[in-house]
Structure 1
Amino acid sequence: MQKRVRELGVVPGHLPTGPLNAITDVPGVRVGHTTLDDGADLHTGVTAIVPDALAGDRSELPAAVAVGNGYGKLVGSTQVDELGVLETPIVLTATLSVFRAADALLTWLLDRDPAAVSLNPVVGETNDSFLSDIRRRPITEQHVLAALGNATAGLPDEGCVGAGTGTSALGFKAGIGTSSRVMATGVVGVLVQANFSGVLRVLGTPVEAPPSDREPAGNSCMIVVGTDLPLESRQLSRVARRAIFAMGSVGSDYAPGSGDYAIAFSTSPGGRLPDKQLKPVFQATMESVEEALLNSLTMARTVTGYRGNTRHAVPHDLVRAAARRG
């Protein structure tokens, strides 16, 4: 049975979580999934992170992108970097489906703004080809629209769902994970699509995966950080870099073929947090990313997929044992 890491006695960091311990603890942020799992060759999907402010009277939110290693296809990232704003929901999917997902997100946006002649859809990806027949490019417009349409403010599903259906990390089956931290000034929430290599660490203690014939292709990670704190783009860039730093706490080896990206955005309607108050924000981000990545593993199940490849779920007894030693 899948369990979140706190249910296994693993408590990363010191700051308190939000009530859901999820990115949806940030007011006005919703998450939706579409999962494609045929029990054989297809294990993939779509995850949508939807800030409600963009559907209201605001056309953009302060945002930033950080690149740990740019071996990836993050559609729309250069305009976010150039202008410091997010214009659209963030969609995550598989590598070869990212372009169809971007076109579908554009359809969703055009339907809502009949006067628009320029929009910047933001779509990230990781490579799930070890467990899914990625060349089939099975993601359609309807899959993307469904994920956007079913997005809710409740606790998002984790593990083998949505864009994490076929992903692996640190030698184990992984997927989608989420977490949050609450400070006196606001909330930081994180959602990850975990698909990278290295040796799993639980509170600093290594947990070795069983020997495997080969690492899963891709070795990437998408991290989305949302907050209701009044942060400008420059500050969000600093936050996004800390999100990538936090991958090291769970054992990432930052492989040269890895596309490691973080997107950070703020839903605050105005104001600016002084730079000298950013330290707890950085701490909240790194703690949330660490826990979200661990949740992506402990909430996943063993999957046998394309060409009979299998990726095993991390044994919970090993996680508990590592936590006791950590």
Structure 2
Amino acid sequence: MSPRQITVLGECVADAFTEPANTANELALRVLPGGGPANTAVALARLGVPTRFLARLSGDVFGRMFRAHLEASGVDLSDAVAAAEPSTLAVAELDAAGQAAFSFHAQNTADWQWTPGELAGVDLTETACVHTGSLALVSEPGAAAVEEFLAAASSRVTISIDPNVRPLLVDPEVYRAKLAHWCGLADILRLSEDDLGILLPGTPPERACDLWHAAGARLVVITLGADGALASLDGRRLLVSGAATRVVDTVGAGDSFTAGLLHHLGARGLLGGRLDALGLDDVAEACRFGAQVAALTCSVAGPNPPWRNQLEQLATTGGV
């Protein structure tokens, strides 16, 4: 049997949400463990996938929170680096629809300091898929080391990338300049319609899919919020409806969708290579499952993805 483990590489971010304070000149913050790759790792582990997380974890108060959160969710941290630098902090403001706008405090923090030596010894023998993206792929000095790791791994495992564009922190031109190269490394590219609007303004999703296929990505999935997702496998496309839910906030929804997608593909033995056995029906089922995982994440506060038993209960009751 092919290996089932999924290895996730990327950042942990302390997500601080504003809350009402006792007086007008105070600001109260509720801090939750987040960060796109960390959210995906947690969601995968909670779904029952053997999940290893390659992270640089600070020893500060936030880093200790990350470690406890990841371990409690069943994530393997045996290859995580104990970092001397501080953790990354993001302050989130939610609008009336639960959409979050983030401001980042991320200069010289632990997440971006990867060295080739820290990744050189990672054993991928049991890994079917490496997933990464977000700021780890664009934040120097570590981004170059992450790309080198992906290039070396791409001949042995399925590569999944989520750009997760953060224009307030990194100039979108940096993402645009790198995206074709990432598609050359990736088998799966998952991004949001907001990402698409930033990366290729005014470009229809179908045209964007064709451009990214031409650059090398076999499966492109563009999530459309409550409207579901557009998936394109080598140019053959389908639209999957979203799962209805009561939205508390949308933090971590895309990360949870990715976890559901990868979980479903991995459980069917479709990860571990170049997706040669993948069919459009498989993609549709995986996207529908991903949408259910994302909907459950939206139904609670913060990046708090569901556990497998919650998905099983959902299947029994037929609703979110």
TM-score when normalising by structure 1: 0.29
Relative contact order, CA 8 A, sep 6+: which one is greater? Answer: 1
> Whose helix fraction is larger, Structure 1's or Structure 2's?
2
